[in-house]
Amino acid sequence: MTIRHFRLDTDLTPAEQAAVLDTADRLKAARRTSAHPRPLAGRSVALIFEKPSARTRVSFEVGVTELGGHPIVLDANTIGLGKRESIEDIAQVLSRYVDAIVIRTFGQDRVDRLAAAGTVPVVNALSDFTHPCQALADLQTVRDHLGTTRGVTLTYVGDGNNVAHSLLYAGAMAGAHVRICAPKGYEPDAGVVTRSARLAAGTGGSVEMLHDPAAAADGADVLYTDVWASMGQEADAANRVDVFRPYQLNEALIAAAKPTVKVMHCLPAHRGDEITDGAMDGPASVVFDQAENRLHAQKALLAFLFAELEAPQ
């Protein structure tokens, strides 16, 4: 039995990532038809949330159900991970009951410790460091609207946060040209940038760090942004407004990109801050397709992880 985790984007190979995206497309097409598979029949999946969520919680709960499985949502107070009992103890206990654990949490180390101590696949549903399920859905959305991820210029403007890190990893693995345009002092983690550049070298993609939004938008196929202060950074939100204002995804930035540019945001959005109403609701926006694809991409990921469990050694 091979236990595969999805702690971060690079837990899949580029070929596996592409296969998961193909499955996501098939599941999307087969949704609500008799051809839809139920590979999780008789299985249960624990969904642990230590931070708020709308999309991730609902798409995983619906997704597990549609695959024939039983989702069990556990909030932070219910299990008290690391407070009521240790992460390692809960990993071993849950492994006796459920067939996979999905977790949204703070430090990436909490995801890693759960995976190390348990005996079932662990999926990262957002940590402070990465948001790999989001990036899978993002790539599916790029394929939906631009036909491919290869050679696509994917520009992210804003905070060099968890979403930016996963875009770097996943985009590089998918052969995209990933540009991250962040204010000075808010750039992505240097290790992620180095590792992504290495991945991109193997796929024909590239990674580029910029500070000037107009230069980052020039020639962009996708303009992507996220909140200026992530969950856990609320106390710093007011200090960030002036720093990030020039990085707003607005009509002027869209005009600086390709005429066919697509606007993306992982949501939830703070309209009027990192993105304008015009950008969110305008003809270039694919943000709600992107939100929908969370469902399909995560179902495909779970189907992949469960198939791996049964793969011959």
Residues belonging to the active site: 104, 131, 134, 226, 266, 294
For residues 67 and 266, which CB has a smaller minimum distance to ligand NVA in the complex?
266
* Least distance between ligand NVA and beta carbon 52 (Å): 9
Candidates 76, 79, 231, 237; binder of ligand NVA (CB under 6 A) is 231
Give the one entry of ligand NVA, ligand CP, none that residue 99 binds, where binding means its C-beta sits below a cut-off of 5 to 8 angstroms depending on kind.
Answer: none
Q: Would you state the structure tokens that stand for residue 289, as one six-digit string?
A: 């397709």
For residues 106 and 306, which CB has a smaller minimum distance to ligand NVA in the complex?
106
Q: Are 157 and 181 in contact (CB under 8 A)?
A: yes
* Least distance between ligand CP and beta carbon 161 (Å): 12
Candidates 141, 153, 166, 230; binder of ligand NVA (CB under 6 A) is 230
Q: Does 220 bind ligand NVA (CB under 6 A)?
A: no
* Least distance between ligand CP and beta carbon 160 (Å): 17
Residues 6+ apart with CB under 8 A from 20: 12, 136, 297, 300, 301, 304
What letters, b where the CB count within 10 A reaches 16 and e where it falls short, cover 218-255? Answer: eebbbbbbbbbbbbeeeeeeeebeeebeebbbbeebbe
* Least distance between ligand NVA and beta carbon 226 (Å): 5
Q: Does 226 bind ligand NVA (CB under 6 A)?
A: yes
Compute the distance between CA of residue 133 and CA of residue 68 in angstroms, rounded to an integer.
Answer: 20
What residues form DSSP beta bridges with 271?
A: 275
Candidates 95, 161, 206, 248; binder of ligand NVA (CB under 6 A) is 161
Residue type, 68: G
Matching residue, tokens 């596996």: 16
Q: Does 162 bind ligand NVA (CB under 6 A)?
A: yes
Residues that bind ligand CP (CB under 6 A): 53-56, 126, 134, 266-268
For residues 179 and 265, which CB has a smaller minimum distance to ligand CP in the complex?
265
Give the one entry of ligand CP, ligand NVA, none that residue 227 binds, where binding means its C-beta sits below a cut-off of 5 to 8 angstroms depending on kind.
Answer: ligand NVA
Matching residue, tokens 């709960």: 61
Compute the distance between CA of residue 261 and CA of residue 217 in angstroms, rounded to an integer.
Answer: 9
User: What residues form the annotated binding site for carbamoyl phosphate?
Assistant: 104, 131-134, 266-267, 294
Given the rule CB under 6 A, which residues bind ligand NVA? 126, 161-163, 226-227, 230-231, 266
